[in-house]
Amino acid sequence: MNIEQGEMMQAFGDPYTNHVVSRLHRFAFIPSDLLNKLSDIALPEEWGNNKYVLKKYLAVHVAWSIEQGQFTKGDEQFYVTAGHLQTRYGTPIYLAFSRNRNHGREPFYLVAVGSNISAPTLPIPPVIPSPAQVPVGAEIVMMHDHILGDNANRVSFFSDTPWVSQMCAISGAIQWSLNRQLKLPYWYYGKMSYVVPLYLNSREDITSEPDLIAPIQVNPESLLVRTVLKPEMPYANARVAVQRHDLLPHWLLQAWKNHAQNATEEEIENPEMVA
């Protein structure tokens, strides 16, 4: 029963979705005890309620491993790394999958998690794709109805400021952060882009928590700003985009730590659509 890459990719389905956790669960049954084991043996992180950020991390990284051919096979199983997760001793963590023998269920089944699984050849982690380069002098285009209308509560300190002035302030804050290389890689809807911290009230300390976060989409001659987020909201998508959580800025780690237990699965899945 040889398992081929095409079969695995077909089982995963369309990569252009923000519902990647449900995509992972359609692909394979993930026993909760093995998810807990992974969390226990990996370097400590704040994964949120029901470890939903960890599920999202695996959903993206396992898919990348299969798409990039970064898996090995043997004994009717296939093996991938748990993304770039490592034990406290720096050892990579591996996942072993086999075909699900329960008909009518998920095509595959996670059967083992560990740093010393028995596999003929051990896989290597997937490459985290790089976002497109930000064009010099690119125009900043904002979806102002979604920023200043639907999510006006996030910019309440602008309540008495005309919309044009608000847009100019946000655009200026984006450019200021871009000039200082403060942008962060950010996974969204199947591909990599950026989020940019917005310092609107004070710029004295760029290590402090910003007022807002702006996800930006890089186009050939423009940067599309789809919405603005609270500082903790992009954490799960930003975590996917780095090898270790400590590579994220301290303000994002702290904002997420303060909010993690209140974050809903909907917010983690698609932060840009949460009211």
Element (H, E) at 37: helix 32-41
- Rounded-to-integer distance, Cα 139 and Cα 175, Å: 10
Asked if residue 128 belongs to a domain, the reply is: no
Element (H, E) at 263: none
Residue 275 has pLDDT above 90, yes or no: no
- Rounded-to-integer distance, Cα 151 and Cα 215, Å: 14
Number of domains in the chain: 2
**What pLDDT is recorded for position 202?**
87
Asked if residue 134 belongs to a domain, the reply is: no
Residues 98 and 217 in one domain: no
Whole-model pTM? 0.93
Q: Which domain holds residue 64?
A: 5-114
DSSP 59: H
- What number is the average pLDDT over the span 212-235? 92
The phi and psi torsions of 133 (rounded to 5 degrees) equal: -65, 145
Element (H, E) at 74: strand 72-74
pLDDT band at 166 (very low <50, low <70, confident <90, very high): confident
The string of pLDDT tens digits covering residues 67-126 is 999 999 987 899 999 999 999 999 999 999 999 988 889 999 999 999 999 899 999 999
Residues 146 and 255 in one domain: yes
8 Å CB contact between 72 and 146: no
